[in-house]
Every structure is written in C-alpha cells, then in structure tokens.
Amino acid sequence: MKFTIPIGPQHPALKEPISLRMTVEGEVIRDADIRLGYNHRGLEKLAEERTWIQNIYLMERICGICSHSHTTCYVQGVEKLMEIEPPKRGLYIRTLVAELERIHSHLLWLGVAGHEAGFDSFFMYTWRDREVVMDILEMISGNRVHYAMNTIGGVRRDLDDLQVKKILDGLEVLKKRTEYYFKIGANEPTFVARLAGVGYLSKERAMDLCAVGPTARASGVTRDVRKDDPYAAYDETPFDVCTADTCDVLGRTVVRIKELFESYKISEFLLKSLPAGGIAVKAPKRAKPNEVLSRYEAPRGENTHYIKSNGTDKPERLKVRAPTLANYPATVEMLRNGFIADIPLIFAAIDPCICCAERAVELVNARTGEEKALRFSELRKLADERFKNPSLKRNAVWPF
C-alpha cells in the first residue's frame, strides 16, 4: 500500500517554502516529487528594467547566504561586456570576501547537518565559531549578510593593515576549531553511523543529473569552477579540489570540512600577497551589444549568469541559474529508497537555498499503484532481503 505524504510548502521543518511529495511504502520512500514556484519573484524580468548599477543590488538580494556569489558572477560578466579590467587589489579583495563567505556558509551547513543528525552540541559549536567569520565580514564590509562589496570595475571598500592582522588572527582561531570538528567526526561513531550510507548518489547518476558543488564532489566528480574556469584571483592562488568517494551524506560532510581548510589556506595566501594599488576603475554607463557567460563557484556549487547587452544602460537579457536548482534532480534520486526519517538529512545535505532557485522545479515518476496481498513467508523473505542490504552502512570509518 502506497501513501503520498505532502511536506510543505509550509511546514515546521522547512525554513523556506517548497513542496515535497513523498510516495512511501511503510517508511521507505519509493518516489519523490519536488514542486517549486512558491517564492518566484520574477527577478529576471525585473532586471531588464534596471540599469547595470541598480542590478548589482538586485542580484545581491537573490540570496541571503551567498549574496556575494551572485553579485560577483554578475559584475565579472558586466566587466567583460564593458571591456574594463578591475585592478589586482580589487580582485584579491573580491576573492577574499568570496572565500570568507564560503567559510561562513560551510560552517552554517555543518551546524545544520549536526542538528538534523541529532547532534546538537555540534550545531552549537559550529554556529558559535561562525560568529568569528561573521565579525570579520562585518569589519570588512559593514554588514553581516548583504556585504555590498562589489561594484562594476572592482570593489567598494579597501583593507588596511590592522584589518589584515585581525582577519589573520580570526582565521587562526577558526583553523583550530575546524581541526577539532574533524577530530569529532573521527571520535564520534554515532555521528558517522548516522551519516554513512544515507542519500546515496552514484558517480554515474551525479554526472547524468548534472549535480554541482559539494554534492557532486562527494560522489567523486572532480569539478570546481575555481579550478576549471578560474575567475578573479583564483588562477594565481594555490589550492586543491576536495572530493570524497563515499557518495553519501558522510562524504558531503567530509568534503565541506576539507573545503574549509582550503578556504583558510586561500584567504591567508590572498592576505599575505595582497598587491598595492587601487581597488576599482571607473565603469562606463553603457555596454556595447554583446553577450557573455559568467560562471562562479558558490558555496553550494556552480552559479551561472548569461548576460546579453544591447547598447543601452540596461541588460537585454539576464539569465540566472542558481546551484540549488541544478541539485534538485539529484536530490530526488537520493531520496528514493531512503527512509522518511532521513528526509531532513538528505534534503539539508545539498544545502538547499530555495530562494536562490526560485527562478525555477518538479519531478514525478510514481509507479503503478497496484496492491498485492502477500503471504507471511513472502513478507519474511522480503524482510530478510532488506536486512541483507541495509541502506545504513555498519562499521563505517571516518576517512582520514
């Protein structure tokens, strides 16, 4: 007997409006459907009626967590259209804020993962330590959320020596704390057991469904726009792409913790080799008719903007594709054959940003609803099979 359980669009467990419809057999999810559109704001249409400068502020408000991602993706595209090159120092500061944003976003995600796994001390630790990076961002930009650092042709605020020292001190604290989290993972078998084997997504399926970011990298897909298509200061910055091959929520956690270490490394490098000079160049009001594809590695995955200009001070077309939208088809795949109790964990593991993706989702593939009476022996056989192939990996170890 199959039931369909609606979760959302308004639900105590969801912070943003989205509708998940689970077709379940007992407590096993057989099919999932995602419906979007509860928060569609028509930003792409609105952008066509705003000037290049006004659109920076519009793009900033696509998302409250990766606000710097959308503006950077937008301004670096517009800079290409206007044929201007921001100064080196401006690019370095832009990249630094991008990495600090990744640190705060990944720390936030770790807390959410800890909370969904029932490990609330972990949630409290990570969110307390996240304040360190939030304070750094506030010191640099004056804001905790919408930094408003980007402008066409560079950034809006410079760094002084005292700020550089304070940021380096803050990173030192965060590095120690992150090492501690990494150790917690190794020393806390219940946490590892809760995450291992949940939300399985094979490498082949991740590639078929075009998953992005840590979700794809946890399935062994080595894709990172920072490496594949370097922008801002990434072509001069040494760093590694972090992957895992466990293809489950454990892998996604490990990838994010490793990426934190890489982000600390990148930020330190940027601060220590910060070039002297100006931070922005003056941008023209208009852009010649042209088109550009801008790509950016946001904390959740690749962010893509396609911008077309027509010679006026407004864009002809601005297409935004946020990373969460690209991860929804993979989420449906992960939810399938999981347990109802795993829904929050799996869904949180893609680090969904529903507002970002509200430019676009839905997927149904409900199988035939036939009912069949089973004899006790058959039922028992099925139960035995289920226990031979449990979706929870026993004796999983933390990969050092």
Q: What is the binding site for other proteins (CB under 8 A)?
A: 36-37, 40, 42, 44-45, 80, 207-211, 222-223, 225, 228-229, 290-293, 295, 302, 304, 306, 308, 316-317, 319, 321, 325-326, 328-329, 358-364
Residue appearing with tokens 């297409």:
319
Q: What is the three-class DSSP state of 5?
A: strand
For other proteins, the closer of residues 37 and 399 by Cβ is: 37
Neighbours of 241 (CB within 10 A): 16
The DSSP-derived string for 248-302 is SHHHHHHHHHHHHHHHHHHHHHHHHT---S-SB-PPPS---SEEEEEEEEETTEE
For other proteins, the closer of residues 210 and 379 by Cβ is: 210
In the bound complex, what is the minimum distance in angstroms from residue 328's beta carbon to other proteins?
6
In the bound complex, what is the minimum distance in angstroms from residue 170's beta carbon to other proteins?
34
Name, in order, each residue with C-beta under 8 angstroms of 271's C-beta and a sequence gap of 6 or more.
Answer: 96, 164, 167, 168
Is residue 283 within 8 A of residue 90, CB to CB? The reply is no
Peptide bond connecting 238 to the previous residue in cis, omega within 30 degrees of 0: no
In the bound complex, what is the minimum distance in angstroms from residue 376's beta carbon to other proteins?
39
For the chain, how many helices (H) and strands (E)? 15, 8
For other proteins, the closer of residues 6 and 142 by Cβ is: 6
| Edge-to-edge order in the sheet of strand 2-7 | 2-7, 19-25, 28-35
Task: Tell me how long the chain is.
Answer: 400
For other proteins, the closer of residues 56 and 225 by Cβ is: 225
In the bound complex, what is the minimum distance in angstroms from residue 309's beta carbon to other proteins?
12
CA–CA dist 138, 222 (Å, integer): 33
For other proteins, the closer of residues 148 and 318 by Cβ is: 318
Element (H, E) at 194: helix 189-195
In the bound complex, what is the minimum distance in angstroms from residue 372's beta carbon to other proteins?
27
In the bound complex, what is the minimum distance in angstroms from residue 237's beta carbon to other proteins?
17
For other proteins, the closer of residues 209 and 254 by Cβ is: 209
In the bound complex, what is the minimum distance in angstroms from residue 375's beta carbon to other proteins?
37
Q: Where are the beta strands (DSSP E) in the chain?
A: 2-7, 19-25, 28-35, 150-151, 154-155, 290-298, 301-309, 315-321
In the bound complex, what is the minimum distance in angstroms from residue 253's beta carbon to other proteins?
24
Angle, vertex CA 394, rays to CA 392 and CA 396, nearest 5: 105
For other proteins, the closer of residues 99 and 333 by Cβ is: 333
Take residue 234 and report the two structure tokens written for it.
């990434």
* Closest CA relative to residue 198, chosen from 50, 33, 346: 346
For other proteins, the closer of residues 25 and 228 by Cβ is: 228
In the bound complex, what is the minimum distance in angstroms from residue 109's beta carbon to other proteins?
22
For other proteins, the closer of residues 364 and 383 by Cβ is: 364
